[in-house]
Amino acid sequence: MDDRRGLTADPAVRIEVRALPIVPDLGALSAAADGDVVWLDSSLPPDAPEAAHARARWSVLALTDGPFAARFRHEGRRADVTVSPSSHRWFGPSRHDDTPAFAVLDDLLGRTPALPEPIAGCGFALGWVGFLGYELGRESGGVDRTADGHADADLRFTDRAVVVDAGGAAWALALVADTEPAASAANRAWLETVTSGRTSADVADVPPCLPAGGAATGRVTRAVYETAVDACRAEIRDGNAFQVCLTTAFGLVPADGLEARRGPGTDPHLSEYLRLRASDPVPFGAYLRLGPLRVASRSPERFLRIEATGAVSAEPIKGTRRRRADPGEDAAVRAELAASVKDRAENVMIVDLLRNDLLRTAVPGSVHVDRLCDVETYASVHQMVSTIGAVLPDGASRAAVVRAAFPPGSMTGAPKISAMAIADRLEGAPRGVYSGVIGYFSASGAVDLSVAIRTLVTVVDDAGSVRSRTFGAGGAVTWSSVAADEADEVETKTRSVLSGVGAVARW
pLDDT of residue 18: 97
Angle subtended at Cα 328 by Cα 347 and Cα 298, rounded to the nearest 5 degrees: 45
- How many Å apart are CA 158 and CA 68, to the nearest integer? 8
Sign of CA dihedral 357, 140, 291, 294: negative
Q: Taking 60 as the threshold, does the pLDDT of residue 258 lie above it?
A: no
- How many Å apart are CA 120 and CA 122, to the nearest integer? 6
pLDDT of residue 322: 86
Residue 495 lies in a domain: yes
pLDDT of residue 211: 46
Residue 20 lies in a domain: yes
- How many Å apart are CA 110 and CA 121, to the nearest integer? 23
pLDDT of residue 54: 81
Q: What is the largest CA-CA distance in the chain?
A: 65
- How many Å apart are CA 200 and CA 28, to the nearest integer? 6
CATH number, domain containing residue 282: 3.60.120.10
Residue 8 lies in a domain: no
Which residues share a beta bridge with 302?
315, 450
- How many Å apart are CA 409 and CA 388, to the nearest integer? 12
Which residues share a beta bridge with 316?
none
Write out pLDDT tens, residues 429-466. Answer: 999 999 999 999 999 999 999 999 999 999 999 888 89
Residues 6+ apart with CB under 8 A from 277: 41, 43, 285, 298
Q: Count the domains in the chain.
A: 1
Residue 103 lies in a domain: yes
Give which of 489, 497, 457, 468 is closest to 245, Cα–Cα: 489
Write out pLDDT tens, residues 114-137. Answer: 999 999 999 999 999 999 999 999
Residue 473 lies in a domain: yes
Does residue 475 contact residue 486 with C-beta atoms inside 8 Å? yes
Sequence letter at residue 40: L
Angle subtended at Cα 173 by Cα 172 and Cα 178, rounded to the nearest 5 degrees: 140
Residue 5 lies in a domain: no
Out of 272, 315, 318, 416, the active site residue is: 318
**10 Å Cβ neighbour count for 461?**
10
pLDDT of residue 266: 66
Q: Exposed, middle or buried, 76 (CB in 10 Å: 0-12/13-18/19+)?
A: exposed
Q: Taking 90 as the threshold, does the pLDDT of residue 427 lie above it?
A: yes
Query: Which pLDDT band holds residue 201 (cuts at 50, 70, 90)?
Result: very low
Q: Which residue has the higher pLDDT, 167 or 128?
A: 128
- How many Å apart are CA 323 and CA 506, to the nearest integer? 22
Which residues share a beta bridge with 371?
387
| Mean of all residue pLDDT scores within the chain | 91
Residue 420 lies in a domain: yes
Give which of 416, 411, 351, 386 is closest to 133, Cα–Cα: 411
- Reduced 3-state DSSP string for 133-161: CHHHHHHHCCCCCCCCCCCCEEEEEECEE
**Whether 416 is catalytic:** no
**Whether 318 is catalytic:** yes
Does residue 60 contact residue 163 with C-beta atoms inside 8 Å? yes
Give which of 205, 163, 167, 168 is closest to 15, Cα–Cα: 163
**10 Å Cβ neighbour count for 237?**
10
Name the residue range of residue 88's domain. Answer: 13-506
Query: What element of type H or E holds 104?
Result: helix 101-111
Please state the pTM of the whole predicted model.
0.94
Q: Taking 60 as the threshold, does the pLDDT of residue 265 lie above it?
A: no
Does residue 139 contact residue 403 with C-beta atoms inside 8 Å? yes
pLDDT of residue 95: 97
Out of 272, 301, 315, 486, the active site residue is: 301
Q: Which residue has the higher pLDDT, 116 or 263?
A: 116
φ/ψ of 506, rounded to 5, equals -130, 125
Query: What element of type H or E holds 113?
Result: none
Query: Which pLDDT band holds residue 263 (cuts at 50, 70, 90)?
Result: low
Residue 4 lies in a domain: no
CA distances from residue 179 to 11, 14, 185 in whole angstroms, order as listed: 11, 12, 11
Average pLDDT over residues 203-232: 77
pLDDT of residue 253: 74
Write out pLDDT tens, residues 29-69. Answer: 999 998 999 999 998 877 777 777 888 899 999 999 999 99
Q: Taking 70 as the threshold, does the pLDDT of residue 259 lie above it?
A: no
